[in-house]
């Protein structure tokens, strides 16, 4: 398997790939890979000739320095996991490679997306995500880029950004993977004890309840019932919102066809997010 640490070395390899009219897929990650990431790599491998997987823990998207410092780093294992995919080229850049001196990025207006849910509770987070994704896309120039639906709002932000900037890369959403208990796979789960993993199941249980209650009650009522149900567990709720997944506005009286419930909560010190369409 080929690994690259500089933008120039990766770019020159990818130019040769492009010259042969081959399709380049891209899976950006922050490492600590799990089955969820691998499902993206698997899909990209099926749909593309060459798949670039980047591993870069992006400092600019952490609004909490401690969260950044504690982000799991399992590079050796990540490379081992990726070695099973013959089409993969791994990009493991330093900060200087991703953010060169001549970086011309200007923050973009994310509108409502920056004001609600993750945007509200993690100020600056999405600007950091857009900045790194933009810089990585400029290096890789893939035809297709794959993102998980667990970070639903991130996906919406990236779609908005790519529309605004006329980026030609196709943004491909991929289903959230869960373990057998229902816990959404996340690199942050590595920081949970066994007991905390059990405690965290309340997130998925609440999301499933919402789907049931939706059949009988208006969104505002379901939000109240779900919050009460969630608070029977030990996690500290940051937000539980029922929104329209296109407009990112809260639903009150009526359900829309694109309704989504999003939860963010602390399990001990670890912040977890999840969502379900309902
Ligand atoms: O979803 C992630 O892991 C990160 O936000 C991403 C897209 C790799 C950007 O750093």
- Domains detected in the chain: 2-174 (3.40.50.620), 187-277 (3.30.1300.10)
Q: What pLDDT is stored for residue 155 in this prediction?
A: 98
pLDDT band at 40 (very low <50, low <70, confident <90, very high): very high
CB 189 within 8 A of CB 183: yes
Ligand 1 touching residue 31 (CB < 6 A): no
pLDDT band at 53 (very low <50, low <70, confident <90, very high): very high
Q: What pLDDT is stored for residue 113 in this prediction?
A: 96
Q: What pLDDT is stored for residue 93 in this prediction?
A: 98
pLDDT band at 264 (very low <50, low <70, confident <90, very high): very high
185 secondary structure, DSSP code? P
- CA 151 to ligand 1 center in whole angstroms: 9
Q: Which pLDDT tens digit goes with each residue over 183-210?
A: 999 999 999 999 999 999 999 999 999 9
**Cα angle 135-48-24, degrees, rounded to a multiple of 5:** 30
| Torsion angle, alpha carbons of 89, 38, 79, 138, to 10 | 40
**Distance of alpha carbon 41 from alpha carbon 1, whole angstroms:** 14
Q: Is 34 a catalytic residue?
A: no
Q: What pLDDT is stored for residue 250 in this prediction?
A: 98
pLDDT band at 1 (very low <50, low <70, confident <90, very high): confident
What atom in ligand 1 is closest to the CA of residue 148? 1
Q: Which pLDDT tens digit goes with each residue over 83-114?
A: 999 999 999 999 999 999 999 999 999 999 99
| Segment 252-264 mean pLDDT | 98
pLDDT band at 267 (very low <50, low <70, confident <90, very high): very high
**Distance of alpha carbon 118 from alpha carbon 107, whole angstroms:** 17
Q: Which pLDDT tens digit goes with each residue over 204-220?
A: 999 999 999 999 999 99
CB 104 within 8 A of CB 59: no
**Which amino acid residue places its CA nearest to atom 2 of ligand 1?**
29
Cα–Cα distance list, 40 to 28, 45, 149, 267 (Å): 10, 8, 11, 26
Cα–Cα distance list, 42 to 36, 129, 185 (Å): 10, 23, 16
Ligand 1 touching residue 189 (CB < 6 A): no
Give the H/E segment covering residue 16. Answer: helix 7-19
* End-to-end CA separation in angstroms for the chain: 41
Ligand 1 touching residue 28 (CB < 6 A): yes
| Segment 231-245 mean pLDDT | 98
User: Can you give the pTM of this predicted structure?
Assistant: 0.97
Q: Which pLDDT tens digit goes with each residue over 120-168?
A: 999 999 999 999 999 999 999 999 999 999 999 999 999 999 999 999 9
Compute how many other C-beta atoms are within 10 angstroms of the C-beta atom of residue 110.
19
- CA 58 to ligand 1 center in whole angstroms: 8
Q: What pLDDT is stored for residue 96 in this prediction?
A: 98
- CA 164 to ligand 1 center in whole angstroms: 19
Mean pLDDT of the chain: 97
């Amino acid at each position: 398997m080929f690994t690259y640490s500089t933008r120039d070395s990766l770019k020159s390899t990818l130019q040769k790939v492009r010259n042969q009219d081959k399709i380049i897929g891209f899976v950006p990650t922050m490492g600590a890979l799990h089955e969820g990431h691998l499902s993206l790599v698997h899909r990209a491998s099926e749909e593309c000739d060459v798949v670039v997987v980047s591993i870069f823990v992006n400092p600019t998207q952490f609004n909490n320095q401690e969260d950044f410092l504690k982000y799991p780093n399992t590079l050796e294992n990540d490379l081992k996991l990726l070695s099973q995919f013959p089409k993969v080229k791994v990009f493991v850049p330093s900060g200087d490679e991703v953010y060169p001196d001549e970086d011309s990025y200007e923050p973009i207006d994310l509108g409502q997306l920056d004001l609600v849910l993750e945007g509200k509770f993690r100020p600056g987070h999405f600007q950091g995500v857009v900045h790194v994704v933009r810089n990585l896309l400029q290096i890789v120039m893939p035809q297709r880029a794959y993102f998980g639906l667990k970070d639903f709002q991130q996906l919406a932000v990236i779609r908005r950004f790519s529309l605004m900037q006329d980026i030609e890369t196709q943004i491909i959403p991929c289903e959230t993977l869960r373990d057998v208990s229902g816990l959404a796979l996340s690199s942050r789960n590595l920081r949970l004890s066994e007991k905390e993993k059990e405690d965290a199941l309340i997130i998925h249980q609440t999301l499933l309840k919402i789907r049931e209650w939706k059949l009988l009650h208006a969104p505002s009522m379901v939000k109240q019932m779900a919050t009460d149900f969630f608070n029977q567990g030990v996690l500290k709720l940051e937000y539980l919102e029922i929104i329209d997944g296109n407009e990112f506005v809260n639903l009150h009286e009526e359900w829309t066809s694109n309704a989504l419930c999003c939860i963010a909560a602390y399990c001990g010190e670890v912040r977890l997010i999840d969502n379900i369409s309902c």
